[in-house]
């Protein structure tokens, strides 16, 4: 494991000069003549991180030796991913699988990289993967694909609001051309308007190919919003009006979809249920009905699942996705149908914002996890890698749901956490 000290044996004189310069900079940070975010102007990225960390150690009286030890190349990270960087926090990564996926884009056996500190999670997903593979694999499909942004406008009256909506509908092609002029990859695929009193929300949806696409759609939406404002005199209030809806639990994403909308299912025989999960089909159906469906409804939940966000978060962190979007995984619906030979278990994930280019996907460790899945970088044709990743995550969520429901049906949950969770 490397660190970012930048000092080597035989460089004593240089180390002394560096220490003197570090002291001068720390004093300037103290008196405010230079800001933390300006250190990259004075130093290389590695030295800027080291000096900034040293200053925080001095200010807080806390040694940060472990945070300062890492393996990633920070040249890119400090420019694209993290401001005021002082080091890294390492999250353990384990693997579950292999799991067989029979998808529209993902076809084969995959080892799942899961970044987590929750004992028993990976073991649980691994058991689900075993069941899915023994059953012949998970059927997985992308039902819908589109990243959204929804600017909000203020109008003078409800009549004015209606005119704005009419104008948007009539000038759809013009707005599409304007949006797509800002990107070489994104395509505007849908525009839907909503009115609340004098507020108008224009929900724009884009095909973002292999990118998760938030930056892309934000820039394109700004161009569209400017045209709408100029043509209708509606006043743009915010480029995001929360009808997108981004990083918040929202029924609109569950209904209309956002990012990759994924469904995954598998047929399990009575024999397999008994052998792997130590329970029976009827018990699985009842646990899902009373816990995931009735219990979630009684709680007013927006998702109807056992712990889908658990698996989504672990894969998102491992694979360089925006971890805040793990909340979208909580809108998953888990269903179990009783069949003549056992059960058919399915998970529906209407909102899975994932990408294989941009954002955190270029960080070295996360890129390695994407390579494990064979989805790093852009796909051929564009968009196929992101869809493949979405399908694999769908299969992973299915594995996690199967295993937890099986543990609950067999009354094994507490025992598993005692053995593997260890507090």
> 332-388 pLDDT, tens per residue?
999 999 999 999 999 999 999 999 999 999 999 999 999 999 999 999 999 999 999
Catalytic residue among 118, 190, 280, 368: 118
pLDDT at residue number 21:
85
Contact 249, 331 (CB under 8 A): yes
> 84-129 pLDDT, tens per residue?
999 999 999 999 999 999 999 999 999 999 999 999 999 999 999 9
Catalytic residue among 322, 364, 368, 412: 322
Three-state secondary-structure class, residue 417: helix
Question: Which sequence spans correspond to the domains of the chain?
Answer: 18-80, 93-144+260-420, 151-238
For 382, other C-beta atoms within 10 Å of its C-beta total 15
pLDDT at residue number 19:
80
CATH class name, domain 151-238: alpha beta
Q: Is 322 a catalytic residue?
A: yes
Six-digit token string for 191: 């525009």
Q: How far apart are CA 405 and CA 132, in angstroms?
A: 14
Cα–chain center distance at 179: 24
Give the orientation angle of helix 172-180 with respect to helix 214-232, to 10 degrees. 140
Equal fold, 93-144+260-420 vs 151-238: no
Q: How far apart are CA 195 and CA 373, in angstroms?
A: 43
Reference 392, options 152, 150, 159, 105; nearest CA is: 105
Q: Is 171 a catalytic residue?
A: no
pLDDT at residue number 7:
39
Query: What are 348's strand-pairing partners?
Result: 263, 333
- Residue 146, burial from CB neighbour count under 10 angstroms (0-12, 13-18, 19+): buried
Reference 229, options 300, 177, 294, 152; nearest CA is: 152
Cα–chain center distance at 184: 23
Q: Which fold has domain 93-144+260-420?
A: 3.90.770
List average pLDDT for each run of 10 residues in the chain, which is 423 residues long: 47 64 89 91 92 94 95 91 95 97 98 96 97 98 97 98 98 97 94 98 98 95 98 98 94 96 98 96 97 97 96 98 94 97 98 96 97 97 97 98 96 59 50
Q: Is 156 a catalytic residue?
A: no
Helix (H) or strand (E) holding 102: strand 93-103
* Phi (first) and psi of residue 395, to 5 degrees: -65, -35
Catalytic residue among 144, 160, 171, 417: 417
């Amino acid at each position: 494991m490397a660190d970012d000290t930048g000092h080597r044996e035989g460089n004593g004189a240089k180390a002394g000069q560096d220490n003197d310069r570090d002291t001068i900079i720390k004093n300037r940070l103290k008196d405010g003549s230079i800001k933390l975010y300006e250190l990259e102007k004075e130093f290389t990225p590695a030295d800027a991180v080291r000096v900034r960390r040293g200053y925080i150690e001095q200010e807080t009286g806390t040694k940060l030796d472990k945070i300062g030890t890492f393996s990633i190349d920070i040249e890119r990270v400090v420019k694209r991913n993290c401001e005021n960087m002082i080091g890294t926090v390492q999250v353990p990564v384990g693997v579950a699988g292999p799991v067989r996926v029979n998808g529209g884009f993902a076809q084969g056996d995959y080892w799942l990289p899961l970044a987590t500190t929750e004992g028993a999670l990976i073991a649980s997903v691994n058991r689900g993967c075993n069941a899915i593979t023994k059953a012949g694999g998970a059927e997985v499909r992308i039902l819908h694909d589109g990243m959204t942004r929804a600017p909000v406008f203020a109008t003078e009256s409800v009549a004015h609001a209606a005119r704005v909506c009419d104008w948007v509908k009539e000038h759809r092609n013009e707005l599409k051309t304007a949006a797509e002029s800002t990107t070489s990859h994104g395509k505007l695929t849908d525009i839907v308007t909503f009115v609340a009193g004098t507020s108008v929300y224009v929900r724009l949806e884009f095909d973002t190919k292999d990118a998760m696409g938030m930056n892309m759609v934000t820039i394109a939406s700004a161009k569209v919003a400017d045209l709408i404002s100029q043509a209708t005199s509606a006043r743009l209030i915010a480029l995001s009006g929360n009808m997108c809806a981004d990083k918040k639990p929202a029924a609109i994403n569950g209904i209309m979809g956002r990012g990759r909308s994924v469904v995954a299912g598998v047929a399990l025989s009575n024999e397999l249920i008994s052998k792997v999960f130590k329970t029976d089909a009827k018990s699985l159906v009842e646990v899902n009905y009373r816990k995931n469906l009735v219990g979630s409804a009684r709680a007013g939940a927006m998702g109807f699942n056992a712990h889908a966000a658990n698996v989504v978060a672990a894969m998102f962190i491992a694979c360089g996705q925006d971890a805040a979007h793990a909340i979208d995984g909580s809108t998953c619906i888990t269903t179990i149908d009783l069949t003549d030979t056992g059960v058919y278990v399915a998970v529906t994930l209407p909102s899975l914002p994932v990408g294989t280019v941009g954002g955190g996907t270029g960080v070295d460790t996360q890129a390695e996890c994407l390579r494990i899945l064979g989805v790093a970088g852009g796909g051929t044709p564009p968009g196929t890698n992101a869809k493949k990743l979405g399908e694999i995550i769908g299969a992973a969520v299915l594995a996690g749901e199967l295993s937890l429901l099986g543990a609950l049906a067999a009354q094994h949950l507490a025992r598993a956490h005692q053995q593997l969770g260890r507090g």
